[in-house]
Amino acid sequence: MNKNWITAYGQQPLYIAGPCSAETPEQLRTTALAVQQLGIKLVRAGVWKPRTRPNSFEGVGVEALKWIQEIKKETGLAFAIEVANPLHVEAALQYDIDVLWIGARSTVNPFTVQEIADALQGTDKPVLVKNPINPDLSLWMGAFERLKGRGIDKLGAIHRGFSSFAESRYRNIPAWQIPIELKRLMPDLPLICDPSHIGGDSLMIEGISQMALDLDYDGLMIETHPTPAEAWSDAKQQVSPAQLQEILSRLRKRDPASQHPEFADKLEEIRDQIDQADREILEALHRRMELVGRIGEYKRNHNIAILDLKRWNEIFESRPQWGKKFGLKKSFIKELYKLVHQASIKMQTNILNNKKEKY
Ligand code: PEP
Ligand code: MN
């Protein structure tokens, strides 16, 4: 796999902009010309649209590929579209679309991804894979493995956030740790953020984009429409070319690392202290687990059930309160204690069943 293919589409970070959906030849051409003015070389446009409910606009289909062909001839721009089945792949290749992407609803289905990979065999088009809608890193990685298995090596990942039942200010929660883990496990894969589908709101694009750049992402894909309010899909989250220009001008590109010796020294000093704090956390965690183990044995000897809901409620209420004193966010401490409690239950279950393994 090589990461260098993205340099063919502009400087890093790579910017991809364009409408959620291709609607009319004029809308597509106006957007393409406007984003080209901003120095963007790769335009996105949905040709077939996966909609959650039927009877909404499902894309104009092959007709839009003809518009793209015309605009490409006129401007020299490159285009990226979503493909969701072998027929889409065939049409996209026939119309010489430059970059293809697999959408979030397709990435969840290994049959679909395999069919798309099979249809792509033999092309050297770059293929981007959006994260699956559910927070499952293996499924995302599996899609890259299927594509690699068919000889596709210009690959890239698009982080578009994950569905969640819980109330959230995001349309799709970012769960940044998942793409970061993907970056750790597949470091040669370019990672692109799609703040439009994460935020679901044009006002959130800038903040999410800045976060992505601060995490050293390789690019951004931002839905752009000449008149967002009138868009046939995803109206709320699209920005106008003028808004896009403003957002891009405000984004700060920080260096991933500094070569300055003084900076490195200071960083190392603080990191030493973090290492020490982590050792203390682990020691305390070990001490806590030993105590949990003692209770487990005590419960086993007296034939008492493991889960004590009253005690768990007490912990779940009090610890976030204790953390508040130190300025620790309640939601963070709650998540932390869910993990600790899960490990404690597992340990006591093992003790109850006289298993050797403790946790
Ligand atoms: C899109 O890019 O317009 C789209 C449908 O995205 P996703 O697959 O992320 O939902
Ligand atoms: Mn969209």
Dihedral, CA atoms, 106, 235, 172, 189, nearest 10 degrees?
A: 60
* Contact call for residues 201 and 236 (beta carbons, < 8 A): yes
Residue nearest to atom 9 of ligand 1 (CA): 104
Give the end of a domain, one of 254, 280, 296: 254
Q: For 68-127, what is each residue's pLDDT tens digit?
A: 999 999 999 999 999 999 999 999 999 999 999 999 999 999 999 999 999 999 999 999
Let me know whether 185 and 267 are in one domain: no
| Residue 79 backbone phi and psi in degrees, to 5 | -125, 145
The enclosing domain of 274 has a CATH number of 1.20.59.10
Which domain range does residue 161 map to? 4-254
Q: Is residue 148 part of a domain?
A: yes
| CB neighbours of residue 125 within 10 Å | 18
Ligand 1 centroid, distance to 61 Cα (angstroms): 15
Residue 333 identity (one-letter amino acid): I
In the predicted structure, residue 194 carries a pLDDT above the cut 80 = yes
Q: Is residue 238 part of a domain?
A: yes
Q: Alpha-carbon distance 21 to 344, whole Å?
A: 49
- Give the pLDDT score at 187: 95
* Contact call for residues 13 and 193 (beta carbons, < 8 A): no
Report which bound ligand comes closest to the CA of 104.
1
Let me know whether 265 and 249 are in one domain: no
Q: Alpha-carbon distance 187 to 56, whole Å?
A: 39
Let me know whether 341 and 247 are in one domain: no
Q: Which residues surround ligand 2, an ion (CB under 5 A)?
A: 20, 234
Closest atom of ligand 1 to 105 CA is 8
Question: Of residues 87 and 354, which shows the higher confidence score?
Answer: 87
Ligand 2 centroid, distance to 197 Cα (angstroms): 6
Residue nearest to atom 6 of ligand 1 (CA): 103
Q: Which two tokens stand for residue 359?
A: 């946790």
Give the end of a domain, one of 232, 254, 276: 254
Let me know whether 218 and 274 are in one domain: no
Let me know whether 210 and 83 are in one domain: yes
| 40-52 mean pLDDT | 94
Let me know whether 310 and 209 are in one domain: no
Let me know whether 62 and 83 are in one domain: yes
Mutation test residue for ligand 1: of 16, 20, 100, the one with most atoms within 8 Å of CB: 20
Q: Is residue 359 part of a domain?
A: no
Q: Is residue 358 part of a domain?
A: no
Let me know whether 220 and 321 are in one domain: no
Closest atom of ligand 1 to 234 CA is 3
Give the end of a domain, one of 236, 254, 272: 254
Ligand 1 centroid, distance to 103 Cα (angstroms): 6
Cis omega (within 30 of 0) on the bond before 13? yes
Q: Is residue 206 part of a domain?
A: yes
Mean pLDDT in the chain? 95
Let me know whether 94 and 35 are in one domain: yes
Taken in order 126, 184, 113, 195, the sign of the CA dihedral is negative
Mutation test residue for ligand 1: of 31, 109, 128, 197, the one with most atoms within 8 Å of CB: 197
Ligand 1 centroid, distance to 182 Cα (angstroms): 20
The enclosing domain of 80 has a CATH number of 3.20.20.70
Length of the chain as a residue count = 359
Alpha carbons within 13 A on the beta-carbon side of 18: 26
Q: Is residue 117 part of a domain?
A: yes
Q: How far is CA 136 from the centre of its chain?
A: 11
Let me know whether 20 and 71 are in one domain: yes
Q: Is residue 357 part of a domain?
A: no
With bands split at pLDDT 50, 70 and 90, how would you rate the model's confidence at 63?
A: very high
Q: How many structural domains are present in the chain?
A: 2
Q: For 235-246, what is each residue's pLDDT tens digit?
A: 999 999 999 999
Ligand 1 centroid, distance to 214 Cα (angstroms): 23
Taking each helix axis from N to C end, the angle separating 110-120 and 137-149, rounded to the nearest 10 degrees, works out to 20
Q: Percentage of residues in the chain with pLDDT exceeding 90? A: 88
With bands split at pLDDT 50, 70 and 90, how would you rate the model's confidence at 358?
A: low
Q: Is residue 40 part of a domain?
A: yes
Let me know whether 199 and 304 are in one domain: no
Let me know whether 95 and 156 are in one domain: yes
Residue nearest to atom 1 of ligand 1 (CA): 20
Q: What's the predicted TM-score (pTM) here?
A: 0.86
Mutation test residue for ligand 1: of 130, 140, 192, 225, the one with most atoms within 8 Å of CB: 130
Ligand 1 centroid, distance to 234 Cα (angstroms): 9
Vertex 186: Cα angle to 3 and 82 (nearest 5): 65
Measured from CB, residues less than 6 Å from any atom of ligand 1 are: 20, 46, 50, 103-105, 130, 160, 197
Closest atom of ligand 1 to 233 CA is 3
With bands split at pLDDT 50, 70 and 90, how would you rate the model's confidence at 51?
A: confident
